[in-house]
Amino acid sequence: MMRKFSLLFAGALMGAASMLAFSGHGLISANAAGSDTYKQLAIFGDVFERVRANYVEQPSDKKLIESAINGMLASLDPHSSYMNAEDAADMRTQTKGEFGGLGIEVTMEDELVKVITPMFGTPAEKAGVLAGDLISKIDGEEVRGLTLQDAVDKMRGAVNTPIKLTILRKGADKPIDITVVRDIIKVQAVRYHAENDIGYLRVISFTEQTFDDLQQAIDKLTEEIGKDKLKGFILDLRLNPGGLLDQAINVSDAFLDKGLIVSTRGRDDRDSRRYSARPGDLTGGKPLVVLINGGSASASEIVAGALQDHRRATVIGTQSFGKGSVQTIIPLGENGALRLTTALYYTPAGISIQGKGITPDIKVNQTIPEELLGRDLTRGESDLRGHIPGAEEDSKGSGSIAYVPQDADKDDQLKFALALMRGEKSDPSYPPDPAKALPN
């Protein structure tokens, strides 16, 4: 069976591993280390030197130190980590939402890179790369034996530099060589379309582009459908791993006129923050439904929690992932960056979702196709080893099935939302009653 990924060159890997929420507030200064601490550090230095001198093979000093740092951070929680200079640069590329690359979504099939689709107007599309093409060589080097990430790394590069792809195409009697010149690719953070009289908005990730993309999508859908005919919007946050905290706040604010959006609480009161909405609902108060599942994490949960607590939207789907922690990125100059958990976030009603997640107003399970039955598709923070204990202690834990069918006709959660908004189905939770908004 084909392993499916969605990768946007150059290396914008926005998968479940990218469950990040960044905060820009200051860090608490730690007390000076005591003598016992320095004794322990001396033990580390002694072990390090003995490994260097006596290990069966010559180890890499850099790798040993990076592994030691990551071992220390991994003992804290699953989301704190060290990024070397290359990893830190990749992280900045992902959150910026634009990069130098080719503009294709790919997967791995039969040890070759398969093109899912070339993005419209990108270098790959202009050069003639087609959906379904199999990339067998990259600049003359065989793809077989490479991981998908290795192949992606090789296709990265500076803007205006060429790369030669050798392609196997169905119907062609021999391989095709295509030269593509890399250019700036803007990742579409929000995909949208009209479902007749309802606007569908799918937020892929929370990058620097997300709010601007969302605002443009709302404007275009309102114009396309017609303000009077438009019944409302569906905000799809399923399989959204999170991203930038400020973008989660801005997306929530897009649908709210006032009130608290999220608060963060750290080790010290000085590290606590409250973020509130400003006047102005971009939809003019149109009805709103939010879709979530086990793949909705971090920034996605901030948005769903804020709109749910204020009774601005009805949340439909299954339990979200339950990542309620905030990671601060601490630059280390040329040595990369430290990603450190510094706070937990709380919904407007003061509820922590750490280890529990957002519970939908209306639970709608998604039918799993026969070929996926038996596979573990459930995702949740409470299943992660070493996670910070949260509200899962008095519940069944966080997370649920993280699956969304590509065929909308087989999407039970989307079909339920559409039927609900059109009056074909009914539920006490829709439309939500603002008078019943939870206090904040």
- Residue 157 pLDDT more than 70? yes
The pTM of the full predicted model, rounded to 2 decimals, is 0.81
- Residue 13 pLDDT more than 80? no
Strand partners, 164: 179
How would you class 276 by CB atoms within 10 Å of its CB: exposed for 0-12, middle for 13-18, buried for 19 or more? Answer: middle
Annotated catalytic residue within 77, 183, 271, 309 = 309
Annotated catalytic residue within 205, 263, 296, 298 = 298
Give the three-state DSSP class for 222: helix
| Residue 379 φ/ψ, nearest 5 degrees | -130, 135
Q: Who contacts 289 (Cβ-Cβ below 8 Å, separation ≥6)?
A: 232, 233, 234, 235, 313, 314, 315, 316, 417, 420, 421, 430
Q: What is the pLDDT of residue 188?
A: 82
Is residue 298 flagged as an active site residue?
Answer: yes
Residues 400-426 pLDDT 10s: 999 999 899 999 999 999 999 999 999
Mean pLDDT across the chain: 87
Q: What is the pLDDT of residue 238?
A: 95
For the segment 197-221, the average pLDDT, to the nearest whole number, is: 96
The CATH number of the domain covering residues in 98-186: 2.30.42.10
Q: What is the pLDDT of residue 435?
A: 87
Residues 314-352 pLDDT 10s: 999 999 999 999 998 999 999 999 999 999 999 999 999
In the chain, DSSP finds a helix count (H) and a strand count (E) of: 9, 25
| Residue 73 φ/ψ, nearest 5 degrees | -70, -35
Q: What is the pLDDT of residue 410?
A: 95
Domain limits of the chain?
Answer: 98-186, 190-436
Annotated catalytic residue within 323, 325, 352, 429 = 323
Is residue 177 flagged as an active site residue?
Answer: no
Percent of the chain residues topping a pLDDT of 90: 64
Which homologous superfamily is 190-436 in?
Answer: 2-enoyl-CoA Hydratase; Chain A, domain 1 (3.90.226.10)
35-44 exposure pattern, b = at least 16 Cβ within 10 A, e = fewer = eeeeeeeeee
pLDDT level of residue 136 (50, 70, 90 thresholds): very high
pLDDT level of residue 4 (50, 70, 90 thresholds): very low
Percent of the chain residues topping a pLDDT of 70: 91
* CA gap 290, 307 in Å, rounded: 8
Q: What is the pLDDT of residue 30?
A: 53
Is residue 407 flagged as an active site residue?
Answer: no
Place of tokens 């030269």: 179
Residues 26-76 pLDDT 10s: 444 455 566 788 888 899 999 999 999 999 999 999 999 999 999 999 999
